[in-house]
A and B are shown apart, each in its own frame.
Chain A
Amino acid sequence: MNALAWFTPGTHITVRGLRKAFGGNPVYAGFDIDLPKGRIVSVFGPNGCGKSTFINMVAGLLPIDGGEILFEGKTIRETRIGYVFQNYREALFPWQRAIDNIHYPLKLMGIARPERERRIAELVAGFDLKFDLHRYPYELSGGQQQTVSIMRSLAIEPEVLFLDEPFSALDYEMTLIMRDQLQKVLVARGTTAVLVSHDLEEAIYLADKLLLLTRRPSRIAEFLDIPLARPRSPATLTDTEFVRIKAHALELFQTAVRGS
């Protein structure tokens, strides 16, 4: 029987003793963390510290060298997950229309067309789309493509959604719109989400908890609560509480980077 089959109530993802090295250089050397259920966790840290490595291991895309990762006691195989890649251009299927891209994961689950259409209509209702889903991905703008990509990952109603710098290829205006879109959908559905961002403002804006990582081998520099009310809006960015949290996080980050 597995020691981790037991988990703290309110915790969704339990990571214990996680180890990973590339060519003998450790990126994680015994890493422990509990990620809360139904919350958004942002991961922030210096470039190359292992943020992508972390979510790829948790999402089961990258084998781990050692340790355990469980989802309410279940393995990744027993968990429905979604993943949004930074490079939407290379993640969507250009031979399918946007709508068929969204159908695809449901098709893989063997769900019949009428039921798929019902679910997707429901999903579409949660987004204010200003474009036609019957177009091919290459006919859409970057923001529209990433929206399709997010919709595809949400179609199966994942228990956990992973996003690796999903907006970093978009311009600032589009990023602001996409953040709000994502916040709205995730909060409405109560999906557990793990978001990697290299933009501290974005990391805090979306997060219930902010995970600050040190340089590799990565350790937790800080795991902060972000007690800002929802829904947050672009006005939140100038809110005194937001500004205070951001300054505090920046200080912690700089200490952590200098310290290691």
Chain B
Amino acid sequence: MGLQVKTAWQRGILMAVGPLMLFAIWYVVNAQGWVTPRLLPSPVRTLQSIWTNMAGGGMGHDFWRTLVRTLQAFGIAAVAGVPLGIMIGANAKLYRSIEFLVDFFRSTPATAMFPLFMIIFGLGDFAKIAVAAFAAWLVILFNVAYGVMNARQTRLLAARVMGASRLRIFRDVLFYECLPQTFVGLRTAVSLALVVIVVAEMFIGADDGLGKRIIDSQITFDMPQLYGTILVSGVLGYGLNLFFLTLETRLVHWAGRS
């Protein structure tokens, strides 16, 4: 027990070493003037900028808007992707016939779709959400279908021999069988949705959002704010990933263990 607490502490300290070192190097490089402060502001000024922007500069609002758009895109993708993925995965012929299409569009940079989506959906918020949802949808679709395709045959047979109907096999076995892979898809999809939303906020005229703030900082050459917003975007991405990872280990406790 004592040993475990100690290792938990040690792990915490070890995890802090990397970021602290990065800040230290950043600090020294800035203080020594090795890189011109026009390009690299001091870490203290950057953190100060985050603080003031959060307190009254509207950064909290931008953070919130980016988060909401990301979750909207993700939500649409999940609702449309999971059931369809199960259907495709359960039908080998269907899977074969659209495997190439899904793979092709999954490999196409989502950003290449921006102009098309702007023509179809206009310049409003929905165009951004739609591109992100499309990209995330393909990732979810692919992963869910893959999970269903690779369900353990023995488990399905076991359910059948116990007298389970097709519907029961679907609900009681197949659903759980594809859950680990589904979560991999959901986690990848939310990260991708965030990337696409931030880029969309930069280049498809947006009123708010972290992407908009980053571009504005570039235009006004506000370097502390630029660095600060990048860090905050990182926090958002990391937080989303951590949230899904935690949910996954809670809900899919058997993944990788059976």
Q: Is B158 an interface residue (CB 8 A)?
A: yes
Query: Which of A87-95, A112-120, A193-201, A205-213 contacts the other chain?
Result: A87-95
Q: Is A108 an interface residue (CB 8 A)?
A: yes
B162–A89 CB distance below 8 A: no
B257–A94 CB distance below 8 A: yes
A105–B160 CB distance below 8 A: no
A87–B161 CB distance below 8 A: no
Report the number of A-B residue pairs with Cβ-Cβ less than 8 Å.
Answer: 52
* Minimum CB distance partner of B253 in chain A: A136
Q: Is B79 an interface residue (CB 8 A)?
A: no
* Minimum CB distance partner of B176 in chain A: A95
**Chain A contacts to B: CB under 8 angstroms:** 59-61, 81-83, 85, 87, 89-95, 104-105, 108-109, 136-138, 152, 156
Partner of A136, one of B157, B160, B173, B254: B254
- Chain B residues contacting A93 (CB-CB under 8 Å) are 155, 172-173, 176
| B149-163 contact mask (Cβ, 8 Å, vs A): 1 or 0 | 000111101101111
Partner of A94, one of B163, B168, B172, B254: B254
Q: How many whole Å from A149's CB to the nearest CB in chain B? A: 9
Chain A binding surface SS class = loop
**Chain B contacts to A: CB under 8 angstroms:** 152-155, 157-158, 160-164, 168, 172-173, 176, 179, 253-254, 257-258
- Chain A residues contacting B254 (CB-CB under 8 Å) are 94-95, 136, 138
Answer whether A108 and B258 are a contact pair too, CB < 8 Å, given A90-B154, A91-B154, A91-B155: no
A83–B161 CB distance below 8 A: yes
A59–B161 CB distance below 8 A: yes
A87–B253 CB distance below 8 A: no
- Chain B residues contacting A138 (CB-CB under 8 Å) are 254, 257-258
- Chain A residues contacting B152 (CB-CB under 8 Å) are 90
Q: How many whole Å from B76's CB to the nearest CB in chain A? A: 28
Using A87-B154, A92-B258 as known contacts, list a sample of 8 further A-B pairs with CB atoms less than 8 Å apart, ordered by residue number in A. Answer: A85-B157, A90-B154, A90-B155, A95-B253, A104-B172, A105-B163, A137-B258, A156-B162
Q: How many whole Å from A121's CB to the nearest CB in chain B? A: 20
Assembly CA distance A179 to B164 (angstroms): 29
Residue in B153, B158, B160, B172 whose Cβ sees the most chain A Cβ within 10 Å? B158
* Minimum CB distance partner of B175 in chain A: A95
Q: How many whole Å from B81's CB to the nearest CB in chain A? A: 22
Q: How many whole Å from B80's CB to the nearest CB in chain A? A: 25
Answer whether A61 and B176 are a contact pair too, CB < 8 Å, given A138-B254, A138-B258: no
- Chain B residues contacting A95 (CB-CB under 8 Å) are 176, 179, 253-254
